[in-house]
Homo-oligomer: A and B are copies of this chain.
């Protein structure tokens, strides 16, 4: 017999929309907040309301931000080299940004081409990207899309756009990950590692 009160049940159901949260975790989260951290729960509620309503997309690179341009697009130094890195998601952008190695601009697709799911070039802002490629201040496009079927298809599509504008285009290397063991690396990755070998 389920004896949870309506508000508690609503909270548990609502928590389950979070990725990786099942019925048991949701229940544990709800009780933990009610027992020990109502103040934190209220803050989380307010943060959710604020972020869901106010966080939009950068007008230039489509990453998440609440202003017209994100911090990276607004910084002139990041445009000096004319490098543009194409990533699938804001999380990918963050991962690259955390390496501290890349000092150009980004374009965040917020997804990959997937005709079966009805995701076409418009949904990824590829018209916006084409305009930027035509503006003449980009020297090289670096494709950092996922090494998946959708990521590959999207990379090919964008490479075509670059070729039309005669802009140099490259894709980040595929090979064995640092710290990985050769024995456990799949065949396709090993093939990529061989064909992409560099003089030592």
Contacts and interface: CB of A to CB of B under 8 A. Distances in A.
Interface string A40-65: 11111111111111110000000011
Contacts of A47: 7, 10-11, 13-15, 45
Interface of A is mostly: helix
Nearest to A20: B25
A10 B8 CA distance: 24
Interface string A1-28: 1011111101101110111100001011
A142 interface: no
B31 A44 contact: no
A104 to B, nearest CB: 13
A1 B96 CA distance: 10
A17 B40 contact: yes
Contact of A97 (B3, B15, B44): B3
A89 interface: yes
**Interface residue tally on A, bucketed by range:** 35 or more
Interface stretch (A66-74, A126-134, A161-169, A176-184): A66-74
A30 to B, nearest CB: 7
Given A17-B40, A42-B52, A46-B49, 14 more contacts: A1-B97, A3-B97, A5-B64, A7-B55, A8-B55, A10-B50, A11-B50, A13-B47, A19-B29, A20-B28, A33-B52, A35-B111, A45-B46, A45-B47
